């Protein structure tokens, strides 16, 4: 049985990502049954470039300072031999990408009340980070987890704290499906670009496919920058469609912030009903 740092008992391998491996571990020091299971991300330091080591430290520091019910809880980070380790909350419900694929395979749809509830949780979490000048930068279904059917945003792998309004490091490279027009036009990543990604996520929840698809990377990019919005699936309401249209306004200056979306009448009344 492998035990890391004399404390974390490895239970199983969750998967491998860009940097390292994610393990499900049991924390020997946690008394609380429901929080015994945690995720340990093990990143071999030797494989990291110096600037990437900074990225990893940054990921840790960003998450440490965020405390929100819909953001994956950060517990600890440390160096263990050759590895940098990050301990976070375990989200037993898996990620939204898996959920979406499961629904698709079974021929099911996600009911509107569920989509709206998750959308509100996503908006509240994003509002919370943006209030603290933290951008996520990589919001996608693979980075959104479920725990007790509650949304938990994780993986601040390439997030950055906005140092000032002029700092919009625009070297964003990732999956193209969630990239905003302004990012593709090299106009810089900003809080509104996270809002765009939420629009893409909303569409994935209702249509069980990406909002912008194409035969090639260029095709996807063209649709994002120039193309019309994809068709809205019939079973979902016009109110929700209007929110979708707002999230995917191509001009970031006209696109609402997360808090503005939360104040739209439809979303505000849904929040009232959830209380």
The C-alpha atoms of residue 234 and residue 241 are separated, in whole angstroms, by 10
Tell me the residue number closest to ligand ADP, measured at CB: 17
Q: Nearer to ligand ADP by C-beta: 104 or 245?
A: 104
The answer to whether 22 contacts ligand ADP (rule: CB under 6 A) is yes
**Active-site annotation holder among 55, 61, 97, 138:** 138
The answer to whether 15 contacts ligand ADP (rule: CB under 6 A) is yes
Q: Which residue has the tokens 């929040």?
A: 271
23 bridge partner residues: 13, 40
CB of 154 to ligand ADP, least distance (A): 5
- Residues within window 59-78 making contact with ligand ADP, judged by CB under 6 A: 72
Whether 138 is a known active-site residue: answer yes
Q: Which residue has the tokens 């609380």?
A: 32
The answer to whether 155 contacts Mg ion (rule: CB under 5 A) is yes
Q: Nearer to ligand ADP by C-beta: 14 or 271?
A: 14
How far from 188 is each of 67, 110, 160, 185, 269, CA to CA, in Å? 27, 34, 13, 8, 34
The answer to whether 89 contacts Mg ion (rule: CB under 5 A) is no
CB of 17 to Mg ion, least distance (A): 5
CB of 23 to ligand ADP, least distance (A): 9
Q: Nearer to Mg ion by C-beta: 20 or 181?
A: 20
- Residues within window 227-266 making contact with ligand ADP, judged by CB under 6 A: none
Give the chain's count of helices (H) and strands (E).
9, 10
Q: How far is CA 123 from the centre of its chain?
A: 11
CB of 43 to ligand ADP, least distance (A): 9
Q: Positive or negative, the Cα torsion across 83, 85, 90, 95?
A: negative
SS (H, E, C) 56-98: HHHHHHHHHCCCCCCECCEEEEEEECCEEEEEEECCCCCEHHH
Binding site for Mg ion (CB under 5 A): 17, 155
Which residues are known catalytic residues?
Answer: 138
């Amino acid at each position: 049985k492998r035990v890391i740092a004399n404390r974390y008992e490895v239970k199983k391998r969750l998967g491998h990502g860009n940097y390292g491996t994610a393990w499900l571990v049991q924390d020997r020091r946690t008394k609380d049954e429901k929080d015994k299971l945690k995720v340990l991300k093990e990143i071999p330091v030797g494989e990291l470039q110096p600037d990437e080591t900074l990225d990893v430290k940054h990921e840790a520091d960003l998450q440490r300072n965020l405390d929100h019910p819909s953001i994956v809880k950060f517990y600890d980070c440390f160096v263990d031999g050759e590895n940098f380790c990050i301990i976070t909350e375990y989200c037993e419900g898996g990620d939204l990408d898996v959920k979406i694929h499961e629904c698709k395979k079974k021929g099911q749809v996600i009911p509107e009340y569920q989509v709206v509830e998750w959308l509100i949780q996503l908006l509240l979490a994003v509002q919370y980070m943006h209030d603290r000048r933290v951008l996520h930068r990589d919001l996608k279904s693979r980075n959104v987890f479920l725990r007790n059917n509650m949304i938990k945003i994780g993986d601040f792998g390439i997030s950055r704290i906005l140092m000032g309004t002029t700092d919009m490091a625009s070297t964003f490279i990732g999956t193209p499906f969630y990239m905003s027009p302004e990012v593709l036009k090299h106009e810089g990543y900003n809080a509104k670009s996270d809002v765009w990604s939420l629009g893409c996520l909303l569409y994935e929840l209702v249509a069980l496919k990406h909002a912008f698809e194409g035969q090639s990377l260029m095709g996807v990019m063209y649709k994002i920058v120039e193309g019309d919005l994809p068709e809205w699936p019939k079973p979902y309401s016009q109110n929700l469609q209007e929110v979708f249209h707002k999230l995917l306004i191509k001009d970031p200056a006209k696109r609402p912030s997360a808090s503005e979306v939360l104040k739209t009448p439809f979303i505000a009344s849904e929040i009232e009903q959830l209380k």
